[in-house]
Amino acid sequence: PLPGRARDAAFRVSACMGENDIGGALSAALGLSNAVDVFINDTTPFKLAKDPANMERVGHILYDCVESIRIASVLLSCALPEKMGALLGMMGQPVPMDDGSFEEPMDSLCAWGRLKAGDAITKGEGLFPRADGADPEPGAR
C-alpha cells in the first residue's frame, strides 16, 4: 500500500502546487507521513522482529517505511527546506537548495526505489524535539 500512497501523494502535491494550493500540497505530503504511521501500527514490525523467521518480512516493512518518509521529505522540502534537507542528507539523498527546490526533477526524486538495500542511513539529532513540559505555552510570552 505505501508505494501507491507515495505515488498518489507526489501526484497530488504536484497538482496542488500547479494551482498554488500550498495548503493542499502540504496536506498531501503529511498524509503520506500519516500513512506510514498507520502502516507501522498495522504491520507491527517491532513485534515481528522478535522472531528471527520474520526478519525478511520486517526488512520489507521497514524499507517501505523509510522510502515513504524519503518521498514525504522531498514533498515537504518547499515548506521545510532546512529540516527536510537534514533528513534527506542522513539518507544520503539529494538535499534541497535554500529555497526548497532541487536541481533534479521532482518526479525523479519521488520515484519509488531510490534507496537501495544496504544504503547507509546515519543517525542525526532530532529534527523536531519534543516540547519540555516546563516550556511556556506557545504565545504565552
Residue 90: pLDDT over 90: yes
Structural domain contains residue 123? no
**What does the alpha-carbon distance between residue 31 and residue 45 come to, in Å, rounded to a whole number?**
21
Structural domain contains residue 120? no
Q: What is the pLDDT of residue 26?
A: 96
Q: What is the pLDDT of residue 8?
A: 97
Residue 135: pLDDT over 70: no
Structural domain contains residue 135? no
Structural domain contains residue 25? yes
Structural domain contains residue 88? yes
Structural domain contains residue 54? yes
Band of residue 140 on the pLDDT scale cut at 50, 70, 90: low
Band of residue 99 on the pLDDT scale cut at 50, 70, 90: confident
Number of domains in the chain: 1
Which domain covers residue 29, as residue numbers?
Answer: 2-109
Residues 18-44: pLDDT tens digits?
999 999 999 999 999 999 999 999 999
The share of the chain scoring above pLDDT 70, in percent, equals 94
Alpha carbon distances (Å) from 50 to 53, 61, 63, 117:
9, 14, 18, 21
pTM: 0.87
Here the CATH number for the domain that contains residue 22 is: 1.10.730.10
Structural domain contains residue 92? yes
Structural domain contains residue 134? no
Residue 136: pLDDT over 80: no
Q: What HEC string does the chain produce? A: CHHHHHHHHHHHHHHHHHCCCHHHHHHHHHHHHHHHHHHHHHHCHHHHCCCHHHHHHHHHHHHHHHHHHHHHHHHHCCCCHHHHHHHHHHCCCCCCCCCCCCCCCHHHHCCCCCCCCCCCCCCCCCCCCCCCCCCCCCCCC
CB–CB of 95/89 below 8 Å?
A: yes
Q: What is the pLDDT of residue 128?
A: 82
Q: What is the pLDDT of residue 52?
A: 97
**What does the alpha-carbon distance between residue 115 and residue 6 come to, in Å, rounded to a whole number?**
14
Mean pLDDT of 86-111: 88
Q: What is the pLDDT of residue 138?
A: 58
